[in-house]
Amino acid sequence: MSSLINNQFNSRPRTIASAKGVWLTDLDDNRYLDGSSGAVVVNIGHGDEYVSRAVADQLSRVSFTHRGAFTSRRAEQLADRLCTMTGYAGAWFVNSGSEAVEAAMQFALQYFRETNRSEHTWFLSHKAGYHGNPLGSLSTSGHARRAAVGSLAFPFPVLPTPYAFRDAQGITDAEYAGMLLTEARALIEQHANHLAGIVIEPVGGATLGATVPPDGYLQGIRRLCDEFGILLIADEVMTGLGRTGSVLAVDHWDMRPDIVVLGKGLGAGYTPVAGALVSEELLEAIAVGSGRILGGHTYAGNPLSMATALAVLDVVQRDGLVERAKRTGEYLAEGLEQVRDRHPFVADARGLGMLRALEFDRAAFELGQGVVTKMVTDVAMGHGLMLYGTTGGMNDAVLVAPPLTIARDEVDFLIDALDRTLTQLQRTESSPKSSSVQPAFGASGAVRA
What whole-number distance in Å separates Cα of residue 448 and Cα of residue 26?
10
**Spatial contact of 197 and 230, defined as CB atoms under 8 Å apart:** yes
Residues 198-215 have a mean pLDDT of 97
Q: Confidence class of residue 295 from pLDDT cuts 50, 70 and 90?
A: confident
pLDDT of residue 5: 87
Residues 197-203 have a mean pLDDT of 97
Identify the three-state secondary structure at position 31: strand
What whole-number distance in Å separates Cα of residue 22 and Cα of residue 235?
26
What whole-number distance in Å separates Cα of residue 345 and Cα of residue 391?
19
What whole-number distance in Å separates Cα of residue 285 and Cα of residue 112?
9
pLDDT digits (tens, 9 = 90+) for 4-45: 888 888 778 899 999 999 999 999 999 999 999 999 999 999
16 closest CA partner among 301, 341, 269: 269
Identify the three-state secondary structure at position 355: strand
pLDDT digits (tens, 9 = 90+) for 49-92: 999 999 999 999 999 998 889 999 999 999 999 999 999 999 99
Residues 429-435 have a mean pLDDT of 49
pLDDT digits (tens, 9 = 90+) for 121-179: 999 999 999 998 888 888 888 866 677 777 788 889 999 999 999 999 999 999 999 99
pLDDT of residue 13: 87
Cα dihedral: 225, 83, 354, 392 (round 10): -50
pLDDT digits (tens, 9 = 90+) for 373-421: 999 999 999 999 999 999 888 999 999 999 999 999 999 999 999 999 9
**Spatial contact of 93 and 273, defined as CB atoms under 8 Å apart:** yes
Which pTM was predicted?
A: 0.94
Give me the chain's average pLDDT, please: 93
**Spatial contact of 305 and 62, defined as CB atoms under 8 Å apart:** no
What whole-number distance in Å separates Cα of residue 273 and Cα of residue 55?
14
Task: Pick 317 or 2 by higher pLDDT.
Answer: 317
Task: Pick 363 or 340 by higher pLDDT.
Answer: 340
- pLDDT reading at 435 higher than 80: no
**Spatial contact of 363 and 396, defined as CB atoms under 8 Å apart:** no
Q: Is the backbone of residue 172 left (phi > 0), alpha (psi -120 to 50) or beta? A: beta
